[in-house]
């Protein structure tokens, strides 16, 4: 039976119905008669759902929860678990490990597509292949406790203990042959290392966790609240993991309807074939709905209509918002979460790990108004003071006069405490820069870099210097220190060394040209080299002890330019001789290829992911 809203009467304010609850009641009344769509019968237990069930819940960031209809009828989470497990994987294993095997691009295919991207990785964590890969990563990290780790994480997002539906789990497992095919494809591609049956068991169990529309709304509100559950107050996940999760939900959360969704609704969301939809509007609210009738994309018909109505009626499209000061900060982190692309020696890495909080990065977006800048300044003051603050302005469309002056005053205040301010992503010829300069003339602690990565690297260098390191110290790395050759014995290293010739390069000299035939690879003995695209965008900076040009093992032509930063010495080994060495030394050859796979996962794929963010409009 549908709920009846209280009727307001004169002098009876307590009996009035809040406007938002009236709106949800209207949605429930108007869309409850839409009987289009079909229940997901391909999983037999899901086919038993009551077709008329329809519940809606909305949670605000101050912990208030609105509910209408069957908002407390339990159903299984299914694919709505995917964003939360992705966030868990990021926090558990680190971004490098996760992003090294799972992409973040929309696939354009249905959720259960048996297809990988050009790197033989899942397109994103919101489709089955990516979600199974996430489950595999959690299994690698937690072993037999993997599912309980996931269930506990989902429970923290919901603010209460969530259970599993054993019948749905059994039904999923009995009918999950397509997911098994995906699992073996991932195992064959090296994306998952664990036993496929164990990975899928974890995945089927996580999809069978029970929740309600109310739970979904609170979970969505936790995403919208930078990982803080608004009901319990618990910081469930790090803001870093939450922001990356919301990014992928925005582009890929609604299966092959994602483009249409973000165009029409504009709220990061995730659906499940159990009939649920959750939508998280950053800094605003979380919405959960349940109605088991699905459209051809696998999304709840009534749930989509609720989201469309909410977005349209209140103008909540994420790309049209400008009134909430908190929206100006889209990322806030230190270099422990996102370092520069420069490869560091062990001593430097230790210094930066010990002092990662010395550099704080705040990525801003939209128009910097008076209230936006005030909010940013208060956020800065809420944590221990760093030595360097980087403001990334590449997504800032404009700075109002009041915002410009307040921002400059913040810079002067930071200078009083010897905090260096670094700006990135702002054109020196732009009106924004001129406006800032008007109020910061004579300020000595202000620097500007075109690219965020350059700004982070400079700040890292200063931290290294301040704590006894020297990034330009003359250092020679032997072959035994080369990451690509880790595990080779002295005899194998001597044989390999005899195949190459030691080359010296002047500062600024181009060592490798993009597009040229790939005929050799290099082991950097001393100095530093930059790996850049022809456009000039840096992919990586490589120090002594690392290889470059190693993609010759996989590609016939060079994909990037390589320049000497300072004087460089490198052992150049012709590719033909290197291949013969691998054939004559099969143990060493297998070890090298394993090392190459790890390096690609840790460095090249991560660099490409950062490049996509760097060049995004």
Q: Which pLDDT does position 608 carry in this prediction? A: 53
Q: Which pLDDT does position 1 carry in this prediction? A: 31
Cβ-contact 139, 202 below 8 angstroms? yes
Is the pLDDT score of 471 beyond 80? no
Cβ-contact 82, 122 below 8 angstroms? no
Higher pLDDT, 343 or 172: 172
Residue 569: closest CA among 512, 520, 523, 615: 523
As a whole number, mean pLDDT of residues 458-474 equals 80
Higher pLDDT, 34 or 450: 34
pLDDT tens for 228-287 read: 999 999 999 999 999 999 999 998 888 778 888 889 899 999 999 999 999 999 888 999
Exposed e or buried b per residue across 109-140, where buried means at least 16 C-beta atoms within 10 angstroms of its C-beta = eebbbeebeebebbbbbbbbbbbbbbbbbbbb
Is the pLDDT score of 606 beyond 70? no
Average pLDDT value over all residues in the chain:
86
Residue 474 pLDDT level (bands cut at 50, 70, 90): low
Higher pLDDT, 70 or 368: 70
- d(C-alpha 6, C-alpha 361), whole Å: 49
What is the tally of helices (H) and strands (E) in the chain? 21, 20
DSSP state of 600: I
Place of tokens 């992503």: 425
Is the pLDDT score of 393 beyond 60? yes
As a whole number, mean pLDDT of residues 516-522 equals 91
**Out of 1.10.1740.10, 3.10.150.10, 2.102.10.10, 2.60.120.10, which CATH number does the structure's domain 479-615 have?**
2.60.120.10
DSSP 255-289: GGGHHHHHHHT-S-EEE-TTSEEEEEETTTEEEEE
- d(C-alpha 93, C-alpha 90), whole Å: 6
Q: Which pLDDT does position 437 carry in this prediction? A: 80
State the sign of the Cα–Cα–Cα–Cα dihedral 109, 111, 114, 118.
positive
Residue 495: closest CA among 599, 592, 568: 592
pLDDT tens for 150-167 read: 999 999 999 999 999 999
- d(C-alpha 7, C-alpha 29), whole Å: 16
- d(C-alpha 511, C-alpha 530), whole Å: 10
Is 1.10.10.60 the CATH classification of the domain at 19-314? no
Which class for 599: exposed (0-12), middle (13-18), buried (19 or more C-beta within 10 A)? middle
Domain boundaries, the chain: 19-314, 325-466, 479-615
CB atoms within 10 A of CB 457: 21
In sequence order, which residues have a C-beta less than 8 Å from that of residue 338 and are 6 or more positions away? 95, 240, 361, 456
Q: Which pLDDT does position 17 carry in this prediction? A: 66
Q: Which pLDDT does position 517 carry in this prediction? A: 92
pLDDT tens for 110-130 read: 677 777 888 888 888 998 999
State the sign of the Cα–Cα–Cα–Cα dihedral 261, 266, 271, 276.
negative
In sequence order, which residues have a C-beta less than 8 Å from that of residue 552 and are 6 or more positions away? 518, 519, 520, 521, 558, 575
> What's the CA angle centered on 209, arms 205 and 211, to 5 degrees?
170
- d(C-alpha 617, C-alpha 612), whole Å: 10
* DSSP three-state, residue 459: helix
Q: Residue 523 — φ and ψ, nearest 5°?
A: -115, 115
* DSSP three-state, residue 466: helix
Place of tokens 């010395």: 358
Residue 391: closest CA among 109, 372, 402: 372
Is the pLDDT score of 94 beyond 80? yes
In sequence order, which residues have a C-beta less than 8 Å from that of residue 19 and are 6 or more positions away? none
Taking the CA of residue 210 as centre, how many other CA atoms within 13 Å lie in the half-sphere pointing to its CB?
13
Is the pLDDT score of 473 beyond 60? no
Q: Which pLDDT does position 227 carry in this prediction? A: 95
Output the CA–CA distances (angstroms, integers) from residue 211 to 75, 208, 218, 238, 288, in the order listed: 6, 9, 11, 23, 10
User: In 176-209, where does DSSP find H-type helix?
Assistant: 177-188, 196-207
Is the pLDDT score of 322 beyond 60? no
Taking the CA of residue 610 as centre, how many other CA atoms within 13 Å lie in the half-sphere pointing to its CB?
22
- d(C-alpha 338, C-alpha 95), whole Å: 9
Place of tokens 């690392």: 546
Using left for φ > 0, alpha for ψ between -120 and 50, and beta otherwise, residue 238 falls in: beta
DSSP state of 614: H
| Residues across the chain | 617
Domain 325-466 classification at class level: alpha beta
- d(C-alpha 574, C-alpha 421), whole Å: 46
The pTM score is: 0.55
Give percent of the chain above pLDDT 90.
44
Output the CA–CA distances (angstroms, integers) from residue 433 to 394, 402, 404, 407, 542, in the order listed: 12, 14, 9, 12, 32
Taking the alpha carbons at both ends of the chain, their separation in whole angstroms is 48
């Amino acid at each position: 039976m549908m709920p009846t809203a209280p009727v307001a009467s004169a002098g009876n304010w307590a009996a009035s119905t809040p406007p938002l609850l009236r709106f949800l009641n209207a949605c429930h009344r108007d869309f409850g008669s839409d009987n289009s769509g079909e229940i997901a019968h391909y999983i037999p237990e899901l086919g038993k759902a009551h077709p008329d069930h329809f519940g809606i819940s909305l949670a605000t960031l101050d912990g208030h929860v609105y509910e209408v209809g069957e908002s407390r009828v339990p159903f299984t989470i299914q694919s709505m678990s995917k964003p939360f497990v992705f966030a868990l994987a990021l926090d558990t294993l680190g971004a490098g490990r996760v992003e090294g095997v799972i992409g973040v691009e929309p696939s354009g295919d249905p959720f259960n597509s048996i297809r990988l991207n050009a790197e033989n990785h899942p397109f994103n964590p919101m489709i089955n292949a990516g979600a199974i890969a996430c489950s595999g990563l959690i299994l690698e990290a937690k072993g037999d406790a993997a599912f309980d780790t996931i269930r506990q994480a989902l429970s923290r997002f919901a603010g209460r203990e969530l259970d599993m539906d054993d019948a749905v789990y059994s039904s999923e497992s009995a009918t999950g042959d397509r997911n098994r095919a995906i699992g073996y494809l991932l195992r064959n591609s090296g994306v998952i290392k664990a036993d496929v049956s164990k990975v899928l068991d974890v995945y089927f169990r996580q999809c069978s966790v029970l929740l309600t529309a109310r739970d979904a709304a609170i979970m969505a509100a936790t995403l919208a609240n930078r990982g803080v559950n608004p009901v319990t107050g618990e910081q469930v996940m790090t803001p870093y993991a939450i922001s990356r999760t919301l990014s992928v939900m925005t582009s890929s959360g609604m299966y092959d309807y994602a483009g249409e969704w973000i165009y029409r609704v504009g709220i990061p969301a995730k659906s499940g074939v159990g009939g649920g939809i959750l939508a998280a509007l950053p800094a605003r609210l979380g919405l959960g709905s349940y109605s088991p009738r699905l459209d051809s994309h696998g999304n709840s018909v009534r749930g989509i209509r609720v989201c469309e109505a909410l977005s349209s009626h209140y103008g909540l499209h994420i790309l049209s918002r400008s009134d909430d000061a908190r929206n100006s900060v889209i990322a806030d982190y230190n270099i422990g979460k996102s370092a520069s692309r420069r490869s560091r020696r062990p001593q430097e890495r230790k210094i930066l790990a010990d002092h990662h909080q010395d550099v704080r990065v705040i990525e801003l977006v939209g128009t910097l108004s008076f209230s936006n800048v005030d909010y940013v300044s208060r956020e800065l003051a809420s944590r221990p003071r760093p030595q360097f603050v980087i403001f990334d302005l590449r997504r800032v469309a404009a700075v109002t006069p009041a915002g410009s002056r307040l921002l400059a005053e913040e810079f002067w205040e930071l200078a009083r405490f010897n905090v260096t301010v670094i700006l990135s992503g702002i054109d020196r010829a732009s009106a924004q820069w001129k406006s800032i300069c008007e109020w910061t003339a004579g300020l000595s602690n202000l620097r500007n870099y075109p690219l965020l990565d350059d700004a982070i690297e400079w700040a890292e260098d200063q931290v290294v210097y301040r704590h006894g390191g020297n990034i330009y110290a003359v250092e020679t790395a032997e072959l035994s220190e080369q990451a690509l050759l880790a595990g080779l014995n002295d005899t194998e290293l001597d044989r390999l060394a005899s195949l190459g010739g030691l080359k010296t390069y002047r500062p600024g000299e181009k060592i490798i040209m993009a597009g040229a035939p790939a005929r050799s690879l290099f082991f950097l003995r001393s100095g530093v080299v930059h790996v850049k695209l022809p456009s000039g965008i840096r992919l990586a900076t490589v120090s002594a002890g690392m290889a470059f040009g190693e993609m010759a093992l996989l590609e016939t032509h060079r994909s990037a330019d390589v320049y000497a930063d300072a004087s460089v010495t490198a052992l150049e080994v012709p590719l033909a001789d290197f291949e013969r060495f691998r054939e004559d030394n099969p143990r060493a050859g297998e070890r090298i290829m394993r090392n190459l796979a790890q390096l690609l996962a840790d460095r090249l794929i991560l660099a490409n992911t950062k490049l996509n963010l760097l060049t995004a409009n």
